[in-house]
Structure 1
Amino acid sequence: MACRTAFIIAISTALLAAPSARAQGAGEPTGVWQTQAGDARVKVSKCGGGICGVIVGLKDPIDPSTGKPQVDDKNPNPALKKRPMIGLPLFSGMQPVAPNKWSGQIYNADDGGTYASSVSVTGTDTLKVEGCVGALCGSENWTRVGR
């Protein structure tokens, strides 16, 4: 009788816990995320079996020195220096490597460099974005602002 009661309690607990995990959307990276500094919003979507990230908003969309929309002027490729920041792809080759984690490359528009990167969903509304240059790595947490 004690075994049967323990079994029923274990099953009931599992069934009650399962819907809350789904309701929170745990592990789902898709949506619109604001960078830690608050200077950009990035839309993350599924693509090619992995994820893509594209800038969809900027805190300062207009370049004060030109009065025109911000462009990718730090890019080392002269052909890309005039592309608009809004719509700029940030992630490339981001493929799943573990539950709630993707690895690939990230483009840094602040210096025009592309770096090894990983992205992890660490909470319902938190995305940890890491980038590395050789052995030197850094990370920041992005906050979900839309689905």
Structure 2
Amino acid sequence: MRASLLAALALAAPALAAPAFAAAPIAGRWVTVEGDSVVTIGPCGATICGRITTFLRRPSTPNPLDVNNPDPALRRRPILGMAVLSGFADKGKDWRGRIYDPRSGKSYKSILSRNPDGTLKVQGCIAFLCQTQLWRPTR
């Protein structure tokens, strides 16, 4: 019995010692696919979030507000500085959280991951259907 216990522990040891995998870091400043704004991604408490920190194209109004938000109480908040990525956590090969689209006023489940070419793969998902964008790092 003692020999079988030692054998079981020996077989389990590599699995116990295996390192945990972490997703590639996503913190930084990213130009959106439209090229009209920069989203800065970094820590927000215990999770990761991303805020619109720069407009690269002049908006149609000087200080655009979140007018398409379904919550009337939030329609007067400025888009500049708004968290469009929230609650992201490292899930091993990617980061998972929520993405908000101020153009439509809708939020989606989201998956973020770094590509080998340095771009950020940004997915917004409804159920198992996802739309993908590639954001590039700022220079």
Partner of 1:108: 101
Deviation readout 1:77-123 (Å, 9 max, x if unpaired): 11111111110101121111014x11011111111011010110113
Q: Which amino acid aligns with 1:31?
A: G
Q: Which amino acid aligns with 1:123?
A: P
| 47 and 35 in structure 1: CA distance in 2 versus 1, 3 angstrom threshold | same
Partner of 1:8: none
Partner of 2:29: 32
- For residue 131 of structure 1, give the secondary structure of its aligned residue in structure 2: strand
CA distance in 1, matches of 2:106, 2:116: 28
Give the count of matched residue pairs.
117
Q: What are the ranges of 5 or more consecutive residues in structure 2 without an aligned counterpart? A: 1-22
Identify the structure with the greater helix proportion. 1
Q: TM-score, normalization: structure 1?
A: 0.72
Identity %: 35
Q: Does 2:71 match 1:77?
A: yes
Partner of 1:125: 118
CA RMSD after TM alignment: 1.9
Q: Which amino acid aligns with 1:80?
A: L
Q: TM-score, normalization: structure 2?
A: 0.76
